[in-house]
Amino acid sequence: MALSIGPTGDARLFNLLNNTDMLAVSQGLVEGATHDIKYFRNESIDNTGYKLLASDGVDSYPFFELASGVSLDIASDDANDATGGTGARTATVYGLNAAIELQQATVDLNGTTKVALPGTWAAVYRVRAGDIGTYDDSIVGDTNIGQLDVTINVTDTFVCSVPASEGSTFTSIRAVPSGHTMYVNNFNFSAGQNDNISVKVRAKDRMDIVTAPFGATRTIYTFDGRNANILANTNGWIRLPEKTMLFCTAINNSNGNAKVSGSYETLLINNAVYNIP
């Protein structure tokens, strides 16, 4: 796949996309550029249809409900994840606001009682447990005791979750904020020893449009594999414009449930800094 920096992109992008300055980007030393590696999994991939690589058993995401920006809540299924509790006391949510701009918020948890997140949200791509109430010397570590669920306030629709004892979400969803371009590469998927899986990487265009004509959802890459890792280098960065939602789905071509995990690499570029129209 040919390298692309866009219609009139700044030549400095070539150094970034050829990994010349990636270490400096990861250290936060390069203006207008952010590097990230997205990890995700779903241990309940069956043969009934493609499911989202996110929380176990999830086969959908509320794209339309979130598109115009909605109020969200977060709660645990364990009372100990609360201020003064022995589990997670705070959580930080990362996503986009109604204007499709980067947004994050840290809130105090209240056990099984829902806590409203400040602002409105058009996407959530990561949630992390924050302050913890117990120091744990074991390999389990200090983290959330229960599962932390993010839901839409009015409809109670599930958005994403932090599995119990994990401390972070495992969702393949990543959204490109306004005024930015995201480059994606180095996809990696793995399945169980006897699993035969197919994976689709998909991109939803114009994620903020809530009236017809809507933005299309496109399959931008496909992978197939059996009994081994699928090391899926795309031979170049895939360029995604602002307001694009990226996510991965999988299906098990065998019987039973497949355990599928994966990762991909992103480089988020501020269009104004790099002269991208």
Please list, in sequence order, all residues whose beta carbon lies within 8 angstroms of the beta carbon of residue 139, skipping any fewer than 6 positions away. Answer: none
76-82-86 Cα angle (round to 5): 105
Q: Which residue has the tokens 């509790």?
A: 85
For residues 66 and 175, give the distance between their C-alpha atoms in angstroms, rounded to a whole number.
Answer: 12
151 contacts: CB under 8 Å, gap ≥ 6:
72, 73, 74, 75, 114, 157, 158, 159
Burial of 277 (0-12, 13-18, 19+ CB in 10 A): exposed
* 138 Cβ contact partners less than 8 Å away, ≥ 6 residues apart: none
Residue 36 gets the label, from left (phi > 0), alpha (psi -120 to 50) or beta, of beta
Per-residue pLDDT of the chain (277 residues; tens, 9 = 90+): 333 444 445 677 777 777 667 778 888 888 899 999 999 999 889 998 899 998 766 777 888 889 889 999 999 999 999 999 999 999 999 999 999 999 999 999 999 999 999 999 999 999 999 999 987 766 566 789 999 999 999 999 999 999 999 999 999 999 999 999 999 988 888 887 778 889 999 999 999 988 889 999 999 988 887 655 665 556 678 999 999 999 999 999 888 888 889 999 999 999 999 888 8
Sign of the dihedral through C-alpha 77, 162, 85, 73: negative
pLDDT at 275: 85
Which one, of 54, 248, 64, lies nearest residue 157 by Cα?
Answer: 64
Measured CA to CA in angstroms, residue 11 lies from 62, 131, 276 at distances of 38, 42, 11
Find out if CATH 2.60.120 is the number for domain 12-60+173-270: yes
If you count them, how many residues does the chain have?
277
Cβ-based burial of 55 (10 A; exposed 0-12, middle 13-18, buried ≥19): buried
Tokens 């390069």, residue?
30
Strand partners, 198: 224, 251
- Quote the tokens at residue 37: 């590696």
Nearest alpha-carbon partner for 10 in 242, 241, 266, 273: 273
What predicted TM-score, i.e. pTM, was given to this entire model? 0.89
Q: Distance between CA atoms of 262 and 191, rounded to whole angstroms?
A: 9
**What are the residue boundaries of the structural domains of the chain, listed by start?**
12-60+173-270, 63-162
What is the per-residue burial (b if ≥16 Cβ within 10 Å, else e) of 4-37?
A: ebbeebbebbeebbeeebbeebeeeebebbbbee
